[in-house]
Structure 1
Amino acid sequence: MPAPSRLTASSLHAGYPGEEVLRGVDLTIGAGDPPLGLLGASGAGKTTLLATLSGEHRPSAGRVTWDGRDVAKLRGKDRRRFRAAVRFVSQYAMTIADPRETVRSRLELAAKEARKGGRTHAVSPAELLDSVGLAEHHLPRTMRTLSGGETQRVALATALATRPEILVLDEPMTAVDPTTRSRISATLAATIQRLGIGALIASHDVELLQRLCPQVAFLGEGRLLAQGPLADVLARTEHADIRDLAEAQPVAVQRFR
């Protein structure tokens, strides 16, 4: 049996001309690991970190590896294998090129791609929709008729349909209303666990991360300032970035202390 897939950042530095955003990040996400939350203030570098993990942004120092191979150097078939095994979903993930495309056809296409890559599972389209809080009657709907929140949830279901080994989510539920968000987080977490998917979930929503992630890592000052259960991380108020977040969301934060 092959070893579980691992995505690792080692002494990672990255940024843009004249601005270093990441200053030495070490992080590992493994298939089958419990979901890890990535918390940080707006502008802390969460999106830059995820773009660098995906290979879309090149680090200035350090490196990102997938099962020991440098992600930035993957090409051709190896790159396609990586993109199938490690799925990245952003809040802007779903483009609609064909106005006739339905939710069912989107999920069936993802499942077909998964079968070609040997990544099959017995989860039906209806079960995938249920895991993100959508009913089976959404299957014949065309993608263009969905709301923003529904589109985000179909993007999640599409990623799950390929049964990735690792799932990286960037603000996955920004367009989903708070009541629905709380309802679907438990079923999403159960699906991730049942399929053995490792997950990194970046969000500014502390309540969402509390529901989905046994541990969170806090990104600030270009590095991971703390990692552990959410309550323990939020207690690390010797760091100004953590203290500022705790003061900005006192009601939500108080629940986890």
Structure 2
Amino acid sequence: MTSLLEVNDLRLSYPGKGFRARPAEILHGVSLTVAEGETLGVVGESGSGKTTIGRALLGLAEPSSGSIRFDGRDITHVGAKERRRLARDIQVIFQDPYTSLNPSLTIGDILTEPLIAQGTPAAAARTRVADLLERVGLPEDAAQRLPREFSGGQRQRVAIARALAPEPRLIVCDEPVSALDLSTQTRVLDLLIDIQRRTGVAYLFISHDLAVVRHISHRVAVLYRGDLVETGPAGPVTTAPEHPYTQKLVLASPVADPVEQERRRTERRKLASNAH
């Protein structure tokens, strides 16, 4: 498959806290790719650097070294004007559907505003909004309502519709279901999968939850303290991992079977004792 996104030897540091504090390096030479129409799941615990990769891709964090190429173009240090152009092709779905939507705007305004800003005529924008609402499973009259009138799952569907509005080629999904209950998580993940099948959009799917990543991803990249420790097809990485840290993530995933859950606890204890 053709690579749409190429991250090569990416390093990123944040300023240290306090006088004479050394910069804290968050990413230690991470390299990964996302193909056209593919989902790459990036998984790791808090502080692993997974969200920092997304921030660097979106221009919200400045890499110390390395490169980010999108569709063959180096976008590592592009200016504000080029970043606005890239917004047509690269969109984002944030973690919290409650804070990512402007509470004072109707859903129609939230979805129409970026389209009109990109030059879409008002009538065409309204038609596009109706299509987007249908695509994400919301009624057409949702356009006249405010975000507070919707559940968390419905708000995340609005956020997905907003990301789809400019017909992007890549969407950065930053923990997009972690604030939702389990049944709603599954419905939103299935919606994202269905949208990908119909549109060919690629996802960089960031999550701490290995079960969620396994559900949606074609390939998985595992980050541990800023290092890429394992990558490969989702099946092998999430069921028969090679790296001890990935094994720990798999064993930490909850299962309904109490016998299997106890086996995982035993294996976790063995891993912990071997580490010491």
TM bin (shorter chain): 0.7 to 0.9
Shift of 1:11: 0.6
CA distance in 2: counterparts of 1:219 and 1:159, whole angstroms: 26
Match of 2:9 among 3, 8, 11: 11
Match of 2:232 in 1: 228
CA distance in 2: counterparts of 1:176 and 1:131, whole angstroms: 20
CA distance in 1: counterparts of 2:90 and 2:158, whole angstroms: 18
**Structure 1 runs of 4+ with >6 Å offset:** 120-123, 252-255
Match of 2:33 among 8, 11, 28: 28
Is 1:245 aligned to 2:254, yes or no? no
Alpha-carbon distance change, 89 to 112 in structure 1, aligned in 2, over 3 angstroms? same
Output the amino acid matched with 2:34. Answer: I
Match of 1:177 among 167, 176, 181: 181
Shift of 1:28: 2.0
Output the amino acid matched with 1:12. Answer: L
Match of 2:116 among 99, 112, 119: 112
Shift of 1:252: 7.6
- Which segments of 5 or more consecutive residues in structure 2 lack a partner in the other structure? 17-22, 262-276
Shift of 1:250: 4.5
Q: Report the TM-score when normalising by structure 2.
A: 0.76
CA displacement 1:119-176 (0-9 Å, x = unmatched)? x999853553354454444332112433444333311110011111111110011222
CA distance in 1: counterparts of 2:126 and 2:113, whole angstroms: 15
RMSD: 3.1
Q: How does 1:153-164 map to 2 (within 5 A)?
A: 153-164=157-168
Match of 2:215 in 1: 211
Q: Is the 8 A contact 2:5 2:71 kept in 1?
A: yes
Match of 2:265 in 1: none
CA distance in 2: counterparts of 1:121 and 1:139, whole angstroms: 12
Q: Report the TM-score when normalising by structure 1.
A: 0.82
Shift of 1:26: 0.9
Q: 3-state SS of the aligned residue for 2:45?
A: coil
Aligned residues: percent identity? 35
CA distance in 1: counterparts of 2:75 and 2:137, whole angstroms: 33
CA distance in 2: counterparts of 1:220 and 1:230, whole angstroms: 17
**Paired residue total:** 247
- Which segments of 5 or more consecutive residues in structure 1 lack a partner in the other structure? none
Alpha-carbon distance change, 45 to 217 in structure 1, aligned in 2, over 3 angstroms? same
